[in-house]
Structure 1
Amino acid sequence: MTKRFRVATTQAMYEPSSSGWTVFRNGDFRLFGMSRFLTGLAYQMQAVAVGWFVYDLTHSALALGLVGLAGFLPAMLAALITGHVADTYDRRLVAAASFAVQAATSAALLAYAWRGAGAVWPIYGLVVLIGTARAFANPSLQALLPTLVPRDLFGSAIAWNASLWQSASVLGPALGGFLYALGPKVVFGSASASFALAAVATAAIRFRPAPVSERPPVTWATLSAGIGYIRAHPVVLGAISLDLFAVLLGGATALLPIFAAEVLHVGPLGLGALRSMPAAGAVLMAVVLAYRPLRRHAGVRMLRAVAVFGVAIIVFGLSTSLPLSMACLFVTGAADMISVYVRQTFVQGETPDAMRGRVSAVNTVFIGASNELGEFESGSVAALIGAVPAVVVGGAATVLVAVLWGRLFPALRARDRLLPRGEAGGRRPS
């Protein structure tokens, strides 16, 4: 999704304009994009290193799953607080502070690897700390983006944001696998530097929100407002929960070290290549969506994309060929990008700015549940029945989820255009 979009005056849909680079005239968005790319690079490099590091220490599928659980729990437990913080304080400073904490935590991983790791539990503790910092950064960033650009560039900003993140997700795992061959210390040091630079870039954003005359009281009603908003909008609830259960059941990321080591026999370099494939597919789909945006049948296409995701996971689980496995993961990334594009448009485009932080925090929990908690689910099931059966069963369950959600959420299935008539996100030009 790299072309500029504008909101049509006669119908609520995104249309491509003449130039996809217009949004980059906005200096604040350039800083935001730099931050997203650097953090994406750091996250992905570090994920490869932590996964291989833990597997080297334990040779346990369950231990790999616990890494995902340690990263997810903070986002789930602190969701109501992080959303309130994002709607109450300067979002860019909240995000910058979170990145600084992650830079320090990556440096602690470097120090632990330097000493010679003997136990796995300190790694889990540091992953929890990273997850806590991310829990504050994610809703702040999601809520900050629509305020940085004029309304007519909102669609383009979403597209570029996804493209930058996914591009980092392509480069990061491959770079992480290459650097891990030099030692885990090199990866953790590089991740720490990337997080530090992202903190500086985010803090340098010049846009300042309007001063808050009176901070809202910390009550259950204000903290849980995001949950209430999502429950009252079945299209948003259906899209978010569909992504949750599809990736929760069908995700295979946590088991990639096992497939790389025991099924495909390709080592850490091959692991980096495997982890890059979903992001590569997502980047290509983003470009396709930029030139051919989803004008009609957005809900049905999202459901079909989730079904394709599940089929590709099944084939990946049965594959013993590195090229075929990489191709399957490429397809999963392309299919998932459609889901991400639709879901993020709903969450960011239709939510009032005063509630974006709290709604984004709930969305972050769903994303974390599908990713990090999905890794725990994958590791636990693999420990019981084996990695290959766990992946195949998970893929089949994802296909069933796509079919079931089409019946449980008829409003999602019937949703035609990305935004309802007369709605759009973003800041009006000054």
Structure 2
Amino acid sequence: MTTKSNKPDPYQALRYREFNVFLLLRFAMVFAWSMQFIVIEWEVYSLTKNPFALGVIGLMEVSPAVSMALFAGHIVDQSEKKGLLVKCILGFSVISFGLFLLTWPKIVGGWSSHVILYSIYALVFLGGLVRAFLGPTIFSLLSLIIPKKAYPNAATWSSSVWQIGAVMGPALAGFSINWIGVHWSMCLVFAFSILSLIALSKISKKPIINPKIGGSVKESLKEGLNFVYNNKIVFGALSLDMVAVLFGGAVALLPIFAQDILKVGAEGFGILRAAPAVGAFITMLVSAYVPLYENAGKKLLAAIFVFGLSIILFGFSTSFWLSVFALFLSGLADGISVVIRQTILQLKTPDHMRGRVGAVNSIFVGSSNELGAFESGATAKLMGTVTSVIFGGSVTLLTVVVTALKSPTFRNLDLQRDMDDHQKLE
């Protein structure tokens, strides 16, 4: 579907009703999950005043998410996607309601801080199990609600909405902690999980592409891993983004910066968390009209390089507003990276392997947010908060330079040919 001037239609995917519902569903779910993570980070740091405790939150979620991811991808490829997604969202809703109760003084007023802390860790761990299935299911569902010709445009909108939710959730978390407190902030998280369930009810059941993959579970999982590893473009995009998120995870330490370094409190914390959201929102607007698939390799490398620079700037900054600008820049660059990576995955992944490839993606990138939180907390404990942030940004820059020099195929990646092939399906 192109316009009369033969230019790509920036609203192509939005012309399908279920895709619009899907965007609402995805935004609500990502918003709720990312907001919950930040609210719990704030609560845990308030309880412990220990940077390492922030890292443990990430470890509690990433451990089951990574260990179960490949098996989850195998299940997703053989399951009806809507029904499986209903179960995932219900599981998350139960967990968010549990955290709502754990932050209610009337419930836990007589509990020790250690009991509250370990109860939070337990629920976060269960959330990691849910997350192992959630990511691959959403990734697979997207390809079933729009035709192949709209995949590139749909990937742009979907990844942009994901990015907006991923940064707006934490941004609102910062403000809501200041306005209504931790407890009622968790109530808001629960409300958004219910909203996602309501949106999902508007999407019809979809056929199972490959109900019987064949062979053993081990062979099925190996097939998914081999596909990602042997496809150098997919592997390169996932690896590069994983390193950026893993070592550039300065946002995991924002409670420390807000409370102890910049000394701006909960309100300043909200502004710091909102800064990447503004950058990501600009990315969404621009990418809808200026497709990023031309010279995608160079654009992805440049975006992650800028992301690394912004993290280093944030680490060095002692000015609140300079820190806000650095985080805004990181959101802008990260948004570009997410859009390009999701476009690559949608164009390069066969339909019958979307669950397993989505699972590998969740290991490489989705779970690296939480693993990055653990890395940030651990390095902050060992070398100091500021030094750990600068170290992470430097590792990101080094990785981009090495990838650009060692992988000319990835550097020269251009998705225009793939885009043209999909447009021929019209």
TM-score by length of 2: 0.91
Any conservation in 1 of the 2:296–2:340 contact (CA below 8 Å)? Answer: yes
The reply to whether residue 413 of structure 1 matches residue 405 of structure 2 is no
Residue identity in the other structure for 1:230: V
SS at match of 1:183: helix
Cα pair distance change 1:213/1:343, threshold 3 Å? closer
1:121–1:200 CA distance, 2 compared to 1 (3 A):
same
Shift of 1:15: 4.9
Provide the residue aligned with 1:10 in structure 2. Answer: none
Is 1:177 aligned to residue 184 of structure 2?
no
Corresponding residue for residue 26 of structure 1? 16
Residue 68 of structure 1: aligned partner: 58
Aligned pairs (5 A) from 1:100-111: 100-111=90-101
- Structure 1 distance, partners of 2:75, 2:211, is 16
Q: CA deviation at 1:264?
A: 1.2
- Give CA-to-partner distance per residue, 1:347-393, whole Å, 9 cap, x none: 12111100011011001111134311011001100001110011011
Does the CA contact (< 8 Å) of 1:281 and 1:330 recur in 2?
A: yes
One-letter amino acid matched to 2:307: F
Q: Which amino acid aligns with 2:61?
A: G
**Paired residue type of 1:257:** P
Would the alpha carbon gap of residues 80 and 213 (structure 1) be closer, same or farther in structure 2, given more than 3 Å must change?
closer
Q: Write the mapping of 1:104-183 to structure 2, written as runs, cut at 5 A.
A: 104-114=94-104, 115-116=107-108, 118-119=113-114, 120-181=117-178, 182-183=180-181
Partner of 2:89: 99
Question: Is the contact between residue 346 and residue 419 of structure 1 (CA under 8 Å) also seen in structure 2?
Answer: no
Where do 1:29-428 residues align within 5 Å? Answer: 29-114=19-104, 115-116=107-108, 118-119=113-114, 120-181=117-178, 182-210=180-208, 214=212, 216-417=214-415, 420=418, 423-424=421-422
Distance 1:127 1:138, change over 3 A: same
Please, which runs of 5 or more residues in structure 1 have no aligned partner?
Answer: 8-13
Does the Cα contact within 8 Å between 2:293 and 2:415 map onto a contact in 1? yes
Q: Aligned in 2, Cα 1:239/1:15: closer, same or farther, shift over 3 Å?
A: farther
Letter matched to residue 108 of structure 1:
G
Q: CA deviation at 1:234?
A: 0.7
Alpha carbons of structure 1 residues 221 and 211: separation in structure 2 relative to 1, 3 Å: closer
What does the per-residue CA deviation read over 1:322-346, in whole Å, with 9 as the maximum and x for residues that have no partner? 2111111111111112221221111
Letter in 2 for 1:178: F
CA contact (8 A) 1:251 1:394 kept: yes
User: How far apart in 2 are the matches of 1:96 and 1:76?
Assistant: 21
Q: Distance in 2 between matches of 1:272 and 1:419?
A: 42
Q: Which runs of 5+ in 2 are unaligned?
A: none
Name the SS of the counterpart of 2:132 in structure 1. helix
Distance apart, 1:398 and its partner CA:
0.8
Over the residues paired in the alignment, what is the CA RMSD in angstroms?
Answer: 2.4
Cα shift at 1:73: 1.1
Q: Answer whether contact 1:350 1:423 (CA < 8 A) is retained.
A: no
CA spacing shift, 1:215–1:352, aligned 2, 3 Å: closer
SS in 2 for 1:224: helix
1:280 is paired with a residue whose SS is helix
SS in 1 for 2:103: helix
Residue type at the aligned position of 2:161: L
Deviations 1:101-157 (A, max 9, x none): 111101111111222362211111111111211110111101111221123322222
Q: Which whole-Å CA distance do the structure 1 matches of 2:188 and 2:339 have between them? A: 30
Task: Say if 1:173 and 1:273, in contact at 8 Å, map to a contact too.
Answer: no
Counterpart residue type for residue 196 of structure 1: I
Relative to its length, the structure with more helix (as a share) is 2
State the one-letter code of the partner of 1:145.
L
The aligned counterpart of 1:16 is 8
- Deviation, 1:77, is 0.1
Would the aligned equivalents of 2:347 and 2:418 in 1 still touch at CA under 8 Å? no
Q: What do residues 10-49 of structure 1 show as CA deviations (whole Å, max 9, x unaligned)?
A: xxxx9532x62x5334222122111112112212321221
Change (3 A) 1:275 1:216: farther
Instruction: State the distance in 2 between where 1:369 and 1:393 align.
Output: 20
Change (3 A) 1:214 1:262: closer
Q: Please state how far the C-alpha of 1:207 moved relative to its aligned partner.
A: 4.5
- Matches of 2:16 and 2:418, distance apart in 1: 27
**TM-score of the two chains, using structure 1 as the length reference:** 0.91
Letter in 1 for 2:119: P
Q: Which amino acid in structure 1 is aligned with residue 156 of structure 2?
A: A
The one-letter code matched in structure 1 to 2:410 is L
- In 2, the alpha carbon distance for the partners of 1:244 and 1:174 equals 22
TM-fit CA distance, 1:58: 0.5
Measured in 2, the distance between the counterparts of 1:205 and 1:237 equals: 32
8 Å contact 1:349–1:423 — kept in the other structure? no
* Amino acid aligned to 2:202: A
Q: Which one-letter code corresponds to 2:74 in the other structure?
A: H
> In terms of mean alpha carbon deviation, does 75-84 or 415-424 score higher?
415-424
